[in-house]
Amino acid sequence: MGDLPDDDLELFREATRGARPIRVDQADTGKPRSDRSVLQSRRQAASVAPKAIRVDGLSDQFVLDVEPEEFLLWTGNGVQEGQLRKLKAGQIPFDGSIDLHGMTVEKARETLWDFLAEANRLEIRCVRVTHGKAVRKDGRRPILKSHVNTWLRQHPGVLGFSSCLPRHGGTGSLYVLLRRSMLEGRDE
């Protein structure tokens, strides 16, 4: 400021009288300042995944419609005929049972998947799944029975299934033969 003539320097001092030096080196954008606690909670919420969509490998794109009283029987590759005969005759004891009556299709799917996962974890050989047969007044096929029939055919842990004997639920239930990985040291 030493380069300015005295008149200009006096004018400058007059114009800046009462002004205070700026202590902040950031511009005011007009946006309200962010509350750090709100930002922190938003960051935490963003890092927690919302209820994830379960990808379980079961498809509803093509559901095999079945009749209410239809006897269901299916085996995958590698199941011996003798095993199938025993399953169909109810000679393989089931060590777990689940009843899907009254559930929505989505709830039944989730419940069935969790049940089969637990049975697999416990190395269970055979379970019973009760789906019902829902003879519908509108003449349409039973929804849960049709979906369960389709899902079990797709499930990687299912070797085969058969409708139950009447004392175990008949055509409203299934004996489901499960794949086991045979835990080390297990003797059977």
- 134 in Cβ contact with 145 (< 8 Å): yes
Q: In what order do the strands lie in the sheet with 126-130?
A: 73-75, 158-163, 173-178, 126-130, 97-99
Exposure string over 133-146, b if 16+ CB within 10 A, otherwise e: bbeeeeeebbbbbb
| DSSP structural state of residue 167 | G
Per-residue pLDDT tens over the stretch 107-149: 999 999 999 999 999 999 999 999 998 766 666 678 899 999 9
Mean per-residue pLDDT over the chain, rounded:
82
Task: Report the pLDDT averaged over residues 138-163.
Answer: 88
Q: What is the pLDDT of residue 110?
A: 93
Per-residue pLDDT tens over the stretch 36-59: 777 777 777 666 655 544 445 555
Q: What is the pLDDT of residue 38?
A: 73
Per-residue pLDDT tens over the stretch 74-84: 998 888 999 99
Residue that has been written with the tokens 């030493």 in this structure? 2
Task: Report the pLDDT averaged over residues 160-177.
Answer: 96
Q: What is the pLDDT of residue 147?
A: 92
Spatial separation of the C-alpha atoms in residues 146 and 112, rounded to whole Å: 14
Q: What is the pLDDT of residue 149?
A: 94
Spatial separation of the C-alpha atoms in residues 99 and 77, rounded to whole Å: 27
pLDDT for 90 beyond 50: yes
| Candidate from 6-15, 45-54, 89-98 with smallest mean pLDDT | 45-54
Q: Which two tokens stand for residue 56?
A: 């379980």
Three-state SS for 26? coil
Q: Which of 143, 130, 133 is nearest to 98 (CA)?
A: 130
**pLDDT above 70 as % of the chain:** 78
Q: What is the pLDDT of residue 4?
A: 62
